[in-house]
Amino acid sequence: MANPRVGFIGTGVMGTSMASSIMKGGYELAVYNRTQQRAMPLVEKGAVLKPTVAELAAWADVIITIVGYPKDVEQVYLGSGGILENAHPGAYVVDMTTSSPKLAARIYEAAKEKKIYALDAPVSGGDVGAKNATLSIMVGGDESAFNALMPIFSLMGKNIMLHGGPGAGQQTKMCNQIAIAATIMGVCECLSYAKKAGLDGTKVLETLSGGAAASAQLSIYGPRIFKKDYDPGFYIKHFVKDMGIALEEAESMKLEMPALTLSKSLFDKLMDENMGDLGTQALYKLYEE
């Protein structure tokens, strides 16, 4: 696919950096965001602002989305004035939102009827991974479409893998979120313990980061917790959404998930206290009470 035009929908915490990386790779880029002001940093770098999803979809050869919730994904792809209604045959559509595996399969089938190639490709790595173009990208769909888009994926991430057919990327992302749910609890508990024990938190982090307890959650969010920096690398409200999807999928497989259930219950408390727009490291606030 020679010099495809790329349309990017969703210029939030992650999307802005991801779209910027695509522009740096030399691709012509158009963007759409419900709040246009949030797309302006990309426009100032040379992206074209499209006023509607329909106009962006009709213009682009590759359309990438990273929006908030499954209902947003469904609307932007399957709704009136949406992507599949306006993209041309032969176009590629890639949803990088963390969303429902079942919805990913529906989009794939609807796209196939229109001779459009669809992939689900959620990411992991947070704002740091997006800025540094080191995201892990988990892909579901046809191998031929995956191979065709690898040059674009490689501009945004480093660990890029096709996991199976439609929905497999989303199922893999659920595995990722399940692991994080338990890990971020452990990070917050360990740092709370260190504080109560009168230890030097910086030294504790340095030591643990070089041993068996090392994790991205510890190394990225530990220092932020000590600074009381709760700005979102990943929103609590989106993590609660993800955990809900994972629990729903687990229930359909008759699989019990006690750690995930507990973690979601703790984050639900933060949601009840109107902290959904903070980063997931704000779970530490519960341990400070």
Known catalytic residues? Answer: 173
Q: What is the dihedral of CA 174, 177, 182, 188, to 10 degrees?
A: -170
How would you class 116 by CB atoms within 10 Å of its CB: exposed for 0-12, middle for 13-18, buried for 19 or more? buried
What does the DSSP assignment read for the chain?
--S--EEEE--STTHHHHHHHHHHTT--EEEE-SSGGGGHHHHHTTPEEPSSHHHHHHH-SEEEE--SSHHHHHHHHHSTT-HHHHSPTT-EEEE-S---HHHHHHHHHHHHHTT-EEEE--EESHHHHHHHT-EEEEEES-HHHHHHHHHHHHHHEEEEEEEESTTHHHHHHHHHHHHHHHHHHHHHHHHHHHHHTT--HHHHHHHHTTSTT--HIIIIIHHHHHTT----SSBHHHHHHHHHHHHHHHHHTT---HHHHHHHHHHHHHHHTT-TTSBGGGGHHHHH-
What tokens were used for 135?
A: 């995201």
Closest among 96, 40, 21, 89 to 65, alpha carbons compared: 96
- At residue 250, φ and ψ (nearest 5 deg) are -65, -40
